[in-house]
Amino acid sequence: MKMKLIHFGIFPVLGMILMNCQHQNSEKNAGEVKVVEKQEMIFEEMNGIVGVEAEHYISQTDTAVRKWYLTTTSKTPDVQPDLDGNHAETASNGAYLEILPDTRVTHDDSLIWATNFINDPGEMAILTYKVHFNNPGKYFVWVRANCHGTEDNGIHVGIDGTWPETGQRIQFWGNKKEWSWESRQRTDSVHTGVEELIYLEVDKPGLHTIHFSMREDGFEMDKWVMSKEYVKPEGTGPEERLKKVEN
């Protein structure tokens, strides 16, 4: 009887201790994972410039009709139509995103509003990135893209849930069929885009969200850069810089 009392008397206490330890561990682990995720996904602007791989977004929304798909040197999305091939070999980090399916490649293909084209920003296939800015102010936005059709070369950019006029209608030239950097805005009079019109205002230092949304399907985005100076990035652009998160 005495043994039974000890048996039933000790184990609940041990169990409570173990449960308490497990609870503390799970809380600790959850905290650690969160910190790791932040370290991986928050990029840092330094000296007026920040570069981010397109494939390093934190979320994608409004994907019912068109969606950004990841392409790497070893993986091509199985989404049709998409007339051109895999261009990851020459992409920064060996990976890029493309809006698919791509049903309008040339001017002869039908334009279907809110399906293969949308002039309004923040409506379709919205990517979100997190960036910590040390220096507020005006930043030009540069995009590294590979355009294979004349109707695959437009996109919009926004900040902190807003889509200012100066982020609308980023325009590339024609169909270069190679990765290139541009920062030009399509206007009513200049369809090939005007320099120095694509920029975002970072109102204060700290964490901000940057968004890209579809204008034309089939757009391929490898990397993007925000820079205070209007200087076209060279090659694959500046290295990504991760923000160190304090524990």
Binding residues for Ca ion (CB under 5 A):
53, 82, 84, 91-93, 95-96, 102, 104, 151-152, 216-218, 222-223
Closest-approach residue to Ca ion (CB): 218
Q: How far is the CB of 125 from Ca ion (least distance, A)?
A: 12
Q: Which is nearer to Ca ion, 151 or 182 (CB)?
A: 151
Q: Which is nearer to Ca ion, 93 or 134 (CB)?
A: 93
3-state secondary structure the chain: CHHHHHHHHHHHHHHHHHHHHHHHHHHHHHHHHHHHHHHHHEEECECCEEEEECCCCCEEECCCCCEEEEEECCECCCCCCCCCCCCHHHCHHHEEEEEECCCCCCCCCCCCECCCECCCCCCCCEEEEEEEECCCEEEEEEEEEECCCCCCCEEEEEECCECCHHHCCEECCCCCCCEEEECEECCCCCCCCEECCCEEEECCCEEEEEEEEECECCCEEEEEEEECCCCCCCCCCCCCCECCCCC
Q: Which is nearer to Ca ion, 45 or 82 (CB)?
A: 82
Q: Which is nearer to Ca ion, 110 or 247 (CB)?
A: 110
Q: Which is nearer to Ca ion, 45 or 55 (CB)?
A: 55
Residue (of 145, 116, 165, 146) closest to 224 by Cα position: 145
Q: Which is nearer to Ca ion, 166 or 241 (CB)?
A: 241
Q: How far is the CB of 238 from Ca ion (least distance, A)?
A: 13
Cα–Cα distance for residue pair 81/50, rounded to 1 Å: 34
